[in-house]
Amino acid sequence: MAGSLVVAGVLGRHAAVTLAAFAVVTAVMNPASAAVAGALRGLMPFVAPHKDAPAQAVPVLRDARWLSLVVGALGALAVLGVPLLASVTGVAAEIVAELGLLPYLLALDVLVLAANGGAGTVLIALGRSRQVLWSSLVHTGVLIGLTLVLVPSWGLDGMGVAWLGAGVAGVVVSHVCLRRALGRGVGQGRPRWREIFRLARVSLPLAGTVLLKFGGLGVVTFAATLTTVTDAAAHSLLGTLTGFTFIASLAVAQASVPEIARAGTAAAARRVNRDAAVLAVGVSSVGGVVLLVFGDALVSLFSADVAVRARVLALVPLMLLASMADAGQAVQGFGLSALKRSGATLGYFAGGYGLLVVAAVPVARVWGVTGLWVALVAVNLLLCVLQGWGFRRHSARVPAAAEVGEAAERA
């Protein structure tokens, strides 16, 4: 996220049309990359039981790589189609002309992410999450360095090279860390279709959930533009700030997956889930309190418009409630994926975000941006309740699942 802020700043100073063109491409690339990452998160419950014997997870990683390459190829095709999509949807000709090589370079980056095979996810599942930090630091450092060097002279093409270079550097580091954790390389074997389908039943619903969330929030952003310029700008800033309050709770939710997957009883699984929920909501609320106390100083870093800043500060309490509810539902959703029941999460999201999509424009027209944030609070609370109920119901089967796993290992 820090690297993305630097990228936005450098592109904005280079030329407004450059930043606009980058936004057009990332509007497609971000959901595509998130879908690949979401699909790879489905690895966790399959890898986590092998914490004490990491090398036994290698066949699972080989299966996952086949699946991630398929999802990555679809995502890359979507990114390659950005110029055509931009032209058809009426994006200004100068912005389309500015795209240059960027869609091709970012499509390659999506493929690199897919070829990574979820190395970071696997390290977390094996209890080596500290090593994930190294690949993130390298990725961010390379991204910032190459952006500062290449964008002033190469423009958007330089941004594409920087993004792809950072992706490759991060993948190399994560693979080195993974090899050390496994004690051997992963390699690539022949596809085991039955095992790939088992992975897909968990991974693909996770990818679908990510796409539903991106799509729903995109509709909310569109609805915000139907209000006033000030409210639309305030909504955009609140969305950025929400990302910073959500990132810690997302990390907590992700870290809880291997612990739940290794739980031997329903009580143990529920205890981990409960502790993760308390921690995630707590860290999310801390971010919101910081905004409440130091809001004016922080918001002034993003906008010099007094009216926009005042509107943001007025909406911070609603943003805090939405973030806390989002943190709670994220933990419950990741808990369901740990139980290999991510299909339930997809169903809950289809219902919750479906209601949000239907209501967004009418709510914006009647109650403005305030109404939109009330709707976000309501949807996140609904998802929290539904997924919490779903987790409790499915976690009751943990002892049976553990017995099946033990029988499989003995066989």
Give SS3 for 253.
helix
Give SS3 for 97.
helix
Structure tokens at 243: 């990302």
- 11 contacts 92 by C-beta, under 8 angstroms: no
Q: Is 85 exposed, middle or buried (0-12, 13-18, 19+ CB in 10 A)?
A: middle
- 64 contacts 204 by C-beta, under 8 angstroms: no
Residue closest to 399 by CA, chosen among 337, 339, 335: 339
Structure tokens at 306: 């007094």
Residue closest to 239 by CA, chosen among 152, 326, 122: 326
Distances (CA, A) of 341 to 40, 201, 202, 333: 15, 8, 7, 9
- 95 contacts 17 by C-beta, under 8 angstroms: yes
Task: Check residue 53 and give left, alpha or beta (phi > 0: left; psi -120 to 50: alpha).
Answer: beta
pLDDT digit string (tens) for the chain, length 411 residues: 778 778 877 876 777 678 778 878 887 888 888 888 878 888 888 898 888 888 888 888 888 888 888 889 999 999 999 999 888 877 778 888 888 899 999 999 999 988 877 888 888 888 888 888 898 999 999 999 999 999 988 988 999 999 999 999 999 999 899 888 888 877 777 888 888 888 888 888 988 898 899 888 888 888 887 888 788 878 878 887 787 778 888 889 988 999 998 888 999 999 999 999 999 999 888 877 787 787 777 777 766 778 888 888 889 899 999 999 999 999 999 999 999 999 999 999 999 999 999 999 999 999 999 999 999 999 999 999 999 999 999 998 876 544 444 444 444
- 123 contacts 174 by C-beta, under 8 angstroms: yes
- Model pTM score: 0.81
